[in-house]
A and B are shown apart, each in its own frame.
Chain A
């Protein structure tokens, strides 16, 4: 918390009526005692960092965001099997910002292993052919280098699972993900034509098959799968190093990519999605899945009410 600026913190907390009622010192005391629910790490520099600088920043921002939550040990216990679920959807390069940043993933793997995880598995149900997507996104190489197990989700091994949602009663889910002790949800912030935003909640569409059906009522379906995954995935990390502003979710056009050099982490999935929406320049209340998420009591879209710890990283 060394670079945590009190002024930033106060500005953030002043937004909510609840915190106004409390003295700032009390809040600080509470913060010291209880681990935070949400952290946001931003680059303090201006303009666009160079490629190697961005690599370095991605790692630093991720470390900082996790550290702010109380460290990885809060979520990963010794001997755990961890499934890190990035967005590995499309046959695109990291520069095209259609998949999670490989350096964010690499840092998380390192933190998990340092926290004593037995195995770290990385996998997502890619839209394009998996081998190519995993390699083009740079995620397979990053994961393998750090000793994580890269899992290609075998379509014939998905298992129809009752999730007892509002609209989705049952859907094929990859059992390997559910068998893990911890799931870490690591989406990239992207534009999505139908859902407007894809971040944390939308990222869960990569643990299932037949996801095309979700499009007919995407807010409710996302709330259903999020409710099912919530007890398994306590930690969400939002990669907003580069975000895809338009032509999502597949993108491909570098003109649509905006560099935000931000990583957020937390335990409230709706709050993180709300933050992602703001990073995209949208109001959380305009995004149906976020509104639905709050309605379904999956979290709060007023992320400022969680008093997120903000860090500036240089």
Chain B
């Protein structure tokens, strides 16, 4: 294959990365609690129709783009490939075409004739687009280093991509017109994450197993040390993973029975000993496991949205430019300096991180998953990127609004009061004579006068173009993208800072996170032990120039000419494109044991053990606080309703931030210190920012991907206490300042009011008696929703606050006689 500027494979990969990144962002944007059709995730009315359409159009566009690129790829391959490979590729295309045809037939069956004709027309256009696409590709000249030609090549690429996207877009539109698009599951991305599945399953269920597992791991480590020649760490880890996968399937089996039990009545006081499994949807991750075992880490190279962020950052920061890496170091044997894409020993670090994470999970600690890439990106998107964009839209449009030429205010009908006589002249004629027939006449004539005077009203000043544009953009974003106004999160700076740091490290080593740190990458690397798809180098063509190594995203080979490490390969297939001699390609070698082989990860047993012990030690350290031992309770650690008992909660919560994004009041916020280090970034309610709305059944529980928060019904939720309100009598107006207020009682959503007023007589500054209603809290009725705290007029430190006492989920935190134990 001759070298090309951008190969079809690369185009396909970029299309996939773009599509998945866009879908990720759209899903995050769709995670809004509008409540137009009640607080429920299912009805379409609760979502912006435009976002929903955009989601499905992107899905269809992605499919179509992939299809077009695949056809081109097959044509390319078929020209060179022979026998099995050719037939295989053709079979894939035929299957895909058949899939399209069947789907079209199914949707057109009930469609009106006009729609059917349009659909067929679009399909024909798509075929035309594919032909045009292929013609353009074939006509492409050999690449040169000439700038003008480079620009031309770039433009051609744009045109090609544009063609694909245009026709795919049309296709997507047809599909959304034909079938009412369903609401996608908002947590869908997490379903495909095997790390989440395994770590959560381990931490939630494996504690009793750990009693046996820890000695077993030590024993295995000892045996391995003795028999190091025959058993690799890698093999053992693989066996462990297979065992875990089997156990998960078993757990899912048992889950069926549990579901029926859960439907009967929900345990408001979760029994920590009960076998409550994970949401079965996480089993989708087993699909990722299979794909990885066959194709390697294509998840990282094609799917992972965080990986796409890092790929973009690596390119923008110039990480792949070899000249930059070698600058200033000339003189030495540059020819043999390992390229930037050469495997570094430190890439093994991520496996040790994973070992620590899994060891921690085995003992019931779930902390490591806060570094899961999907979780990390979702949390950053929710708490930092979206609010930042929202701030820009809100503040920007407000600034433009304020800069508009001021209209004249409404005429001052209401005259300023002076002393006892604060009555306007206009009102006088109407009210002084009230009770007589003249009053009616005066009143009526006033009405008529006013009505007539409308015609002579001066025209309103025209708005500037700048304002009209900014206002419509703002309104669009407000109504479709940023639904809860002014959504903002505590401590988002640290979350964003961490994210930016990982992005910045790409300047030093491209895809730093993916190569060195990512625990999911490590897990997939272990699974990609013996992938079916492998890199081959035709030694007769290779001259060891190391262009492949320099451009390697995952640093998957010790260069030049080193062995390929399947576990490090991100499956971007970039190396094949970069080889000017066409010596490199990915193939399906049969038999699997033969050449070309893949190099093992080559983990150090000692370091693996150290990593695991580190994980255990970290967990032990995190558990040394009084709060972690369950002897104290943080007063402000108010978990969302349906959250499990603290220990069980921490065994499952990944701190992804989905619950915080969906919370209708925006009151769910990431913890900083409230839940200790182990609970970093896990959700807690800050009523001052937003209370727990009574009519919300706990959308947080419905979106939670790991079941840390359980889904409830509205009626169930009304029974759940998340805390207890308390007055600060040094602040509350009727207590401290002899002023009436009672706003908290008004806002109390409990039907019979958990806040009740007591009328008291106090003296004001001059010693005069003042009769006041002072609010009190009913210990039994208060659910801790925080409406009162939110409603309090004291905005800095409210006169009433909610504390965690009486929370249903924690049996230890029950002060009330006759409460949870009653």
Q: Taking beta carbons and an 8 Å cutoff, which residues of A are in contact with B?
A: 16, 18, 27, 30, 34-37, 70, 74-75, 77, 80, 91, 127-129, 131-132, 134-136, 140, 154-157, 161-166, 178-179, 181, 192-194, 212-213, 215-218, 224, 227-228, 230-232, 234, 247-253, 267-268, 296-300, 302, 305-306
Q: A163 — which chain B residues lie within 8 A by C-beta? A: 414
Tell me whether B412 is interfacial, beta carbon within 8 Å.
yes
Q: Which residue of A lies closest to B397 (CB)?
A: A156
Additional 4 contacts, C-beta under 8 A, given A135-B35, A165-B422, A181-B454: A162-B412, A194-B743, A216-B733, A298-B427
Residues 420-443 of chain B: 1 if any A CB is under 8 Å from the residue's CB, otherwise 0? 001110111001101111011101
Q: A127 — which chain B residues lie within 8 A by C-beta? A: 747
Q: A217 — which chain B residues lie within 8 A by C-beta? A: 740
Q: Which residue of B lies closest to A80 (CB)?
A: B454
| Closest beta carbon of chain A to B760's beta carbon, Å | 15
Whether A297 contacts B695 by the Cβ 8 Å rule is no
Whether B695 contacts A215 by the Cβ 8 Å rule is no
| Other-chain residue from A91, A230, A234 in contact with B427 (beta carbon distance below 8 A) | A230
Whether A194 contacts B746 by the Cβ 8 Å rule is yes
Tell me whether B502 is interfacial, beta carbon within 8 Å.
no
Q: A154-B478, A267-B443 are in contact. Are A215 and B431 (CB under 8 A)?
A: no
Complex Cα–Cα for A43 and B443 (A): 28
Complex Cα–Cα for A187 and B37 (A): 24
Whether A249 contacts B485 by the Cβ 8 Å rule is no
Whether A132 contacts B417 by the Cβ 8 Å rule is no
Q: Taking beta carbons and an 8 Å cutoff, which residues of B are in contact with A?
A: 33-39, 394, 398, 401, 409-410, 412-417, 422-424, 426-428, 431-432, 434-437, 439-441, 443-444, 446-447, 450-451, 454, 460, 478, 484-486, 664-665, 693-695, 733, 739-743, 745-753, 757, 773, 791-793
Q: A194-B740, A297-B432, A306-B434 are in contact. Are A77 and B695 (CB under 8 A)?
A: no
Whether A128 contacts B693 by the Cβ 8 Å rule is yes
Q: A164 — which chain B residues lie within 8 A by C-beta? A: 412, 414-417
Whether B747 contacts A251 by the Cβ 8 Å rule is no
Q: Which residue of A lies closest to B752 (CB)?
A: A253
| Closest beta carbon of chain B to A139's beta carbon, Å | 13
Whether B434 contacts A299 by the Cβ 8 Å rule is yes
Whether B751 contacts A251 by the Cβ 8 Å rule is yes
Q: Which residue of B lies closest to A254 (CB)?
A: B751
Whether A136 contacts B444 by the Cβ 8 Å rule is no
Whether A74 contacts B447 by the Cβ 8 Å rule is yes
| Other-chain residue from A18, A212, A298, A302 in contact with B436 (beta carbon distance below 8 A) | A18
Complex Cα–Cα for A215 and B394 (A): 30
Whether B444 contacts A35 by the Cβ 8 Å rule is yes
Q: Which residue of B lies closest to A27 (CB)?
A: B437
With a 10 A CB-CB cut-off, give which of B39, B409, B410 has the most chain A CB atoms.
Answer: B410
Whether B695 contacts A91 by the Cβ 8 Å rule is yes
Complex Cα–Cα for A296 and B410 (A): 21
Q: Which residue of B lies closest to A304 (CB)?
A: B435
Complex Cα–Cα for A163 and B416 (A): 8
Whether A305 contacts B434 by the Cβ 8 Å rule is yes
| Other-chain residue from B415, B431, B694, B695 in contact with A298 (beta carbon distance below 8 A) | B431
Complex Cα–Cα for A156 and B396 (A): 12
Q: A181-B454, A215-B741 are in contact. Are A131 and B434 (CB under 8 A)?
A: no
| Closest beta carbon of chain B to A1's beta carbon, Å | 15
Complex Cα–Cα for A154 and B478 (A): 9
Q: A230 — which chain B residues lie within 8 A by C-beta? A: 413-414, 427
| Closest beta carbon of chain A to B688's beta carbon, Å | 14
Q: A91-B693, A216-B740 are in contact. Are A30 and B437 (CB under 8 A)?
A: yes
Q: A253 — which chain B residues lie within 8 A by C-beta? A: 751-752
A-B interface, 4 closest residue pairs, ranked by CB to CB distance from nearest: A132-B35, A305-B435, A253-B751, A252-B751
Whether B431 contacts A299 by the Cβ 8 Å rule is yes
| Other-chain residue from A27, A135, A165, A231 in contact with B426 (beta carbon distance below 8 A) | A231
Q: B434 — which chain A residues lie within 8 A by C-beta? A: 268, 299-300, 305-306
Q: A247 — which chain B residues lie within 8 A by C-beta? A: 751-753
Q: A216-B740, A300-B435 are in contact. Are A250 and B39 (CB under 8 A)?
A: no
Q: Which residue of B lies closest to A252 (CB)?
A: B751
Complex Cα–Cα for A253 and B36 (A): 22
Q: A212 — which chain B residues lie within 8 A by C-beta? A: 741, 743, 791-793
Complex Cα–Cα for A280 and B179 (A): 52
Whether B664 contacts A132 by the Cβ 8 Å rule is yes
Q: A37-B443, A267-B447 are in contact. Are A131 and B435 (CB under 8 A)?
A: no
User: 12 A-B Cβ contacts within 8 A?
Assistant: A16-B435, A37-B443, A74-B447, A132-B664, A156-B485, A193-B773, A215-B740, A216-B733, A218-B740, A227-B424, A253-B752, A306-B435
Complex Cα–Cα for A155 and B435 (A): 40
Complex Cα–Cα for A228 and B426 (A): 12
Complex Cα–Cα for A74 and B447 (A): 8
Complex Cα–Cα for A129 and B33 (A): 10
Q: A193 — which chain B residues lie within 8 A by C-beta? A: 742, 745-746, 757, 773
Whether B422 contacts A166 by the Cβ 8 Å rule is yes
Complex Cα–Cα for A161 and B441 (A): 32
| Other-chain residue from B414, B432, B664, B746 in contact with A165 (beta carbon distance below 8 A) | B414
| Closest beta carbon of chain B to A144's beta carbon, Å | 11
